[in-house]
Every structure is written in C-alpha cells, then in structure tokens.
Structure 1
Amino acid sequence: MIELLDGMPAGVIGFEASGKLAAEDYRDVVLPTLEVAAEAGEVRFLIVMRDFQGMSGGALWQDLKVGFGHLKAWKRIAVVTDIDWVHHMTSLFGWMTPGETRVFALDDRDAAVAWVLG
C-alpha cells in the first residue's frame, strides 16, 4: 500500500509505502499526484518506507513508467528508510533514476524533506 503524506512543503510530493506495492497503488495514488507536480515544474519526491516488503511485477512496471514518463521533470528523490536492503539497492541503482537520489534514515526525515526541497 502507498499513501500520500500530508504536510509536505510546497513543491514536494511525499508518500509512505508499506507492505507489498501493487500496480493499483501507482495508478490510484502516485500517478495522479505526479501528473500535477510534473505539470507545475520540477518533481521533488519523498518516500518513507517503514515496513516495505517489495513490489509486484505490475508495480515494478508502473514504477518504471512513472520514472520515465516525465524524465526531465524529476529533480530530487529522497528515500527515507531503515531497511538495509532498500538502502543498498538505492545506493547501487540510484544512478539509473532521473534526477538526484539520496537515502536517509527514518530519524532523519526532516533532513530528507529539507534536502529534497533544496
């Protein structure tokens, strides 16, 4: 499941992912929000993952489409998690994502918001 985070500063879209993500999570939650942000200019994206358990094949496909659908709009992506494998995968493959990507610990969420906004 993925939910939109309230209270993000103007210009930042934030989500919290938990459990296993499905294609519907992207279609119903991420894509509508991303479309609005991309039309307004740069996409500054924050995702918090506390108990993330991976993605279905459909969700992975949606994730790829989201990344490349507005390739030039992506500015920064902050991944906020204490899950070791997510941290390592983001560090290894973050260069493949559009824009800058950085991983933060859950305790550093405020720093992540400041960085993604900057």
Structure 2
Amino acid sequence: MIEQIPGLPAGALGFRASGQVTATDYSQVLVPDIEAAFAINRKLRLLYHVGPDFTGFDAGAMWEDAQLGFRHFSGWDRVALVTDVPWMRVTATAMGFAVPAELKLFHNAQFDEAMAWISEPRPVDDDGNK
C-alpha cells in the first residue's frame, strides 16, 4: 500500500510504502499525485518512506516506478529515501549517481530529519528564481 504523507510544503511530495506495494497503488495514488504536482511545478522534491512493515513490491509496481522516474527524469530537485531495508539502501547507494537530483538516504529513525531536509527552502539563483 502507498499513502501520501501530509504536511510537506508546496513543491514537495511524500509517500509511505507499507505491506505489499502493487502497480495499482502506483496508478491510483502515487502517479496521479506526482503528475498533478508536475503540472504546476518545474522541479519537485520527493520523500519516500519504506517503513518496517513493508514486505515488497510486485513486478508491476517496480515497472510503474521506473516509468515514472524516466518520464520526469530531470524534474527532481531532491529525493529523500527513508528505509532500513538493506537491498533498497544498497541499490540507492549504488545507483545514486544516475539520479539527476540530490539523493539522500535516511534510516527510519531519521524520518523527522528527512522531512526537515525535504522542506528546506530552495536557494534563490542569480535571476531571483527558486
């Protein structure tokens, strides 16, 4: 199951994965929320929490995740992955160089730190844009 995490500022989305995550979870929750956010934001920040009750992704969910990432490949500003799942941490560490965003890993006990990091104000560039 995937549910949205409330309380993040504009331009940031958060999701919590628990139990078995399916393609339907992606198509009914995560994808519509992300597509709607990209319709009004050039860049997004993402907090993805995979908690201790997570049991896995089905193949369809993994495919949906890959498609979503490629569809908005350069649209991510920051991505915080909060998990203690060993294979996810290893994969994120190994593949982090391929993500065109600032990617940071947090343990479940650091959830509040991840929320704060995702919520930090964006720096203003030389043109006055965030």
TM-score by length of 1: 0.89
Cα RMSD over matched residues? 1.5
TM-score by length of 2: 0.81
Map residues 67-86 of structure 1 onto 2, 5 A cutoff. Answer: 67-86=69-88
> What is the alpha-carbon distance in structure 1 between the residues aligned to residue 97 and residue 23 of structure 2?
23
Q: Tell me how far 1:71 sits from its aligned partner.
A: 1.6
Aligned to 2:45: 44
Identity of aligned residues (%): 39
Q: Which runs of 4+ in 1 moved over 3 A?
A: none
Structure 1 runs not aligned, ≥5 long: none
Asked if 2 retains the 8 angstrom alpha-carbon contact of 1:67 and 1:98, the reply is no
> What is the alpha-carbon distance in structure 2 between the residues aligned to residue 90 and residue 107 of structure 1?
18
Aligned to 1:32: 32
Alignment equivalent of 1:64, drawn from 42, 63, 66: 66
Asked if 1 retains the 8 angstrom alpha-carbon contact of 2:49 and 2:82, the reply is yes
Identify if the C-alpha distance between structure 1 residues 95 and 52 changes in structure 2 by more than 3 Å, giving closer, same or farther. Answer: farther
Q: Tell me how far 1:27 sits from its aligned partner.
A: 0.5
User: Does residue 1:55 correspond to 2:78, yes or no?
Assistant: no
Q: Is 107-116 or 68-77 further displaced after alignment?
A: 107-116
Give the number of equivalent residue pairs. 118
Q: Tell me how far 1:3 sits from its aligned partner.
A: 0.5
Q: Which structure would you say has the larger Rg?
A: 2
Asked if 1 retains the 8 angstrom alpha-carbon contact of 2:8 and 2:119, the reply is no
Aligned to 2:127: none
